[in-house]
Every structure is written in structure tokens, then in C-alpha cells.
């Protein structure tokens, strides 16, 4: 797929990994929808940087745990750009918890955004892509969806769901629409983690270093460009799965 002038929606595109993906698409001259929920200032900053690189870009707010808000987000993308060609499902939360004490609200909060939100964003995007003759989706999964994290049980379950969503959707939507995933490993230090602990995690990887959000963004661009790839989940993890 050629990315110039394609309409791309990046959920969670205001900050962190989503921002890197949005700006990578802007450099490819995609017409960009930067989705956010609470990060309005960061979204506007991302849009300003995207426009400075020569791309058309707007910021749109939606609570992706709300089905009606998802529909409204994609209608707004239609109004702005006439449709959708690319979806990157990047919006997610990462919360620790305990399997035996996790509450229903804990479950709803994480599953509601990480999996349910991704599902219905994909559904809305795919309907539009079919009208336009095709498109591509990249879901941002996580190494936790491929290997369980005991301290993040609901997050691991949600990302395992994203892995299966990718495969099911790739099969159901072929050949017009391709669906793939990127499963990042340690590419961005969590806000509450000390620099020392972050360095230790990177040093323990086979590649002996942590990654960056740009590593994920480059993987997304690769998957979007290659028209003979669908249904795969690409780890971007410094070899973490090998350890």
C-alpha cells in the first residue's frame, strides 16, 4: 500500500507510542486523524508537528469504551477526509492487579478499552474500507498477549484477545482488507519505573538494550506497506521472546 494521501486513524495517537506512529504516518504524507480521550494538549501538539512535516492532520476526541463515541469518531473522520483507509489501534491502558482480587470495574476498564474498543474501531474502519475498495489495520498488541504477565493479568488477557482479533479479522476481511499486529516489548519506560530498573530490563534482552517508540512505528509502516502480509503479529521486543 502506498501511504501518501491515505486517510489514517491512529487511536491513542496523542502521546507515547501512538504519537510516534502518528508522526511516522505524517512523514509518509498520510492524511491523519489523531484520536485522544483526555490528552487534548498532547493531541494538538502532535497535530502541529504532523502539519509541520507537510501532512494534513486533525485531532478528534472519543472515549473508546463507549460504542456510540466510536461511531461518532469515525463519522467525524468521514466528514473531515471522506473515509478511512488505515486504522492503527494503539489506544490502551496498562494497570497492575491481582488475579484473585481484581474487581469487575478493573475488568471493564481494561477490557473495555484494550479489546472491546479495538474490536469496534476495527469494525467501523472495515465497513468504510470495504466501500473504498480495501485498506489495512495494524493492532498494537503487547508481548504480554503472547506470554502472560502475572502482575498484569487483565492486561495480558486483553492483549491475547487483540492477538486473536488480528487473526480472525485478517481471515474474515481478506482479500480487500489486511490486518496485522505489532507486539512491542520494552520500548518506552513506564512513568512510575526508575531509570535504573529500566536499564536492567534492557540489559537482560538478547539485544542488550531497550527499544524506542520509533522502533514500533517503523514496524507499523512496514506492515502497512507490504501488501502480501496479513494475519501476523510482529514482535518488536529486542528478542525478549527468546529469553
CATH of the domain at 172: 3.40.50.720
Q: What is the pLDDT of residues 38-51, one digit of tens each?
A: 999 999 999 999 99
Is residue 208 domain-resident?
A: yes
Q: In the chain, which residues have pLDDT < 50?
A: none
Query: What's the confidence (pLDDT) of residue 190?
Result: 86
Give 57's strand partners.
32
Q: d(Cα 18, Cα 8) in Å, to the nearest integer?
A: 12
- Residue 243 is predicted with a pLDDT of 75
152 is a domain residue: yes
* DSSP 8-state code for residue 194: -
Distance (Å, rounded) from C-alpha 30 to C-alpha 3?
Answer: 6
Q: How do residues 98-108 score in pLDDT, each as one tens digit?
A: 999 999 999 99
CB contact at 8 A, 77 and 4: no
Q: How many domains does the chain have?
A: 1
Answering whether pTM is above 0.85, one says yes
Closest CA to 62 of 45, 82, 77, 46: 77
Domain of 100 in residue numbering reads as: 7-242
- Domain for residue 124, yes or no? yes
Residue 78 near residue 68, CB atoms below 8 Å: no
pLDDT of residue 130: 97
* Torsion sign across C-alpha atoms 160, 112, 119, 18: negative
HSE-up of residue 143 (Cα within 13 Å, Cβ side): 16
Does 2 map to a domain? no
In a domain, 115, yes or no: yes
**Is 58 domain-assigned?**
yes
Q: Is 1 inside any structural domain?
A: no
The confidence score (pLDDT) of residue 104 equals: 98
Amino acid at each position: 500500500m502506498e501511504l501518501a494521501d491515505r486517510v489514517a486513524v491512529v487511536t491513542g495517537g496523542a502521546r507515547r507510542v501512538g504519537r510516534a506512529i502518528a508522526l511516522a504516518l505524517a512523514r509518509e504524507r498520510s492524511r491523519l486523524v489523531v484520536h485522544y480521550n483526555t490528552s487534548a494538549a498532547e493531541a494538538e501538539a502532535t497535530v502541529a508537528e504532523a502539519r509541520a512535516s507537510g501532512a494534513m492532520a486533525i485531532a478528534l476526541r472519543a472515549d473508546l469504551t463507549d460504542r456510540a463515541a466510536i461511531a461518532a469518531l469515525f463519522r467525524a473522520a468521514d466528514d473531515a477526509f471522506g473515509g478511512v483507509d488505515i486504522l492503527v489501534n494503539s489506544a490502551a491502558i496498562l494497570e497492575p492487579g491481582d488475579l484473585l482480587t481484581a474487581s469487575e470495574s478493573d475488568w471493564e476498564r481494561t477490557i473495555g478499552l484494550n479489546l472491546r474498543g479495538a474490536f469496534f474501531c476495527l469494525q467501523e474502519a472495515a465497513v468504510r474500507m470495504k466501500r473504498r475498495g480495501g485498506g489495512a489495520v495494524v493492532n498494537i498488541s503487547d508481548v504480554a498477549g503472547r506470554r502472560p504477565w502475572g502482575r498484569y493479568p487483565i492486561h495480558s488477557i486483553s492483549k491475547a484477545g487483540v492477538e486473536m482479533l488480528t487473526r480472525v479479522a485478517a481471515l474474515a476481511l481478506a482479500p480487500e482488507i489486511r490486518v496485522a499486529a505489532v507486539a512491542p516489548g520494552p520500548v518506552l519506560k513506564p512513568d512510575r519505573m526508575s531509570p535504573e530498573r529500566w536499564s536492567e530490563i534492557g540489559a537482560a534482552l538478547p539485544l542488550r538494550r531497550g527499544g524506542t517508540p520509533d522502533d514500533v512505528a517503523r514496524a507499523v509502516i512496514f506492515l502497512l506497506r507490504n501488501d502480501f502480509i496479513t494475519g501476523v503479529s510482529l514482535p518488536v521486543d529486542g528478542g525478549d521472546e527468546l529469553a
